[in-house]
Copies of this chain bind each other. A is one copy, B any other.
């Protein structure tokens, strides 16, 4: 189609473009959209440490296609040369909770915005947010906000001008490099994987960052209580994000020795034993909640007791399937998301134990540079978490109780 006057733009990118398969994805994206590319310049990093540099001309038959393509290339680190020479387009939200139609929706990768000629790094980076800009005499600030947090009049970044995204590059030299390549198979040696996760935990603590656990009730069902408790006592658990069920089954186990009606010592189902969890809820709520129940001696052992004693923060989010719930459970989802987000602000490593619901929730809130370990006996859950744009997810398909046993052994 040489005769058709094409719409074209020149984009540039730099970094470990080959290691992270970014270059492949850039080319794929252009072709999939029915556009063409011509490499104007490509300098390959000569060694493993050096960056590569790309300058690419993109042509599309229709202007809209080109525009959409540029939008898609941005998260891959491709900046249209003309766009980075301009400031970002800022427009006020037209009403509370609503952005202008062409608002820029964020990824979880490090992002910079050009405001008044200066590049400003966006704060609280997360995916599916808008970038709210506050101008002040000392300079402008840009922050990720949820749509619902917008107030009418708030300045919001729109379009693509004045935006730079830095994709998360894989670091090939890190000791855990190969491991990080989010394999999911269960036909691997679990013990080797646990060893690497233990190293990640130690490195995170050494850097002064927090290790946050996201835990489903399977932790209790699979006999993980004592091992998780060891981790808490040894100081490897900085915060726990969970739901109502974790606390309820934990208390049920402490009070009756069962979990959802299964006798955990004997491994046998207890006919009618599922009443126990209702009594556990009643007992905790009479005491005014978990802290009250621990202090009053109503519950004497278990994960929640250890968290209270070690003064570890926990946030319990409600769900449509909750029984009770206990008084500590936050039943409003907006409040629960806000509390989760606060806790995750200082997370350097997140370990998700058999809870797809909370795992996906947490994945949405995290920037791309915080690694997430996802442990589940169901490979589909691990794949699903790794799928949702959280390329930093490391999957491990195994029994959670045995995993905690091994992790506690490796760390304590």
**Which residue from B188, B223, B278, B283 sits with its C-beta under 8 Å from A262?**
B188
CB-nearest residue of chain B to A335: B331
B324 touches A148 (CB 8 A): yes
Question: How far is B267's CA from A266's CA once the two chains are assembled, in angstroms?
Answer: 34
- List of B residues within 8 angstroms of A325 by Cβ: 148, 333
Majority DSSP secondary structure for residues of A touching B:
mixed
A21 touches B21 (CB 8 A): yes
- List of B residues within 8 angstroms of A24 by Cβ: 18-21, 24
Within 8 A of B (CB), among A24-39: 24-25, 27-32, 36-39
A337 touches B320 (CB 8 A): yes
Task: Say how many copies of this protein the assembly contains.
Answer: 4
- List of B residues within 8 angstroms of A103 by Cβ: 278-279, 282
- List of B residues within 8 angstroms of A23 by Cβ: 18
Instruction: Write the nearest CB–CB distance from A90 to chain B, whole angstroms.
Output: 17
Question: How far is B23's CA from A21's CA once the two chains are assembled, in angstroms?
Answer: 9
> Is A65 in contact with chain B by the CB < 8 A criterion?
no
Question: How far is B128's CA from A277's CA once the two chains are assembled, in angstroms?
Answer: 9
Question: How far is B178's CA from A223's CA once the two chains are assembled, in angstroms?
Answer: 18
**Which residue from B29, B45, B323, B398 sits with its C-beta under 8 Å from A402?**
B398
B364 touches A189 (CB 8 A): no
Question: How far is B118's CA from A4's CA once the two chains are assembled, in angstroms?
Answer: 47
Question: How far is B72's CA from A262's CA once the two chains are assembled, in angstroms?
Answer: 14
Beyond A188-B267, A333-B331, A357-B321, whether A282 also contacts B147 by CB under 8 A is yes
Beyond A196-B267, A267-B196, A323-B364, whether A275 also contacts B332 by CB under 8 A is no
| Additional pairs, 14, CB under 8 Å, beyond known A103-B279, A105-B279, A187-B218 | A18-B24, A25-B271, A29-B272, A30-B48, A32-B271, A72-B272, A127-B274, A148-B325, A189-B222, A243-B320, A319-B319, A377-B377, A377-B397, A402-B406
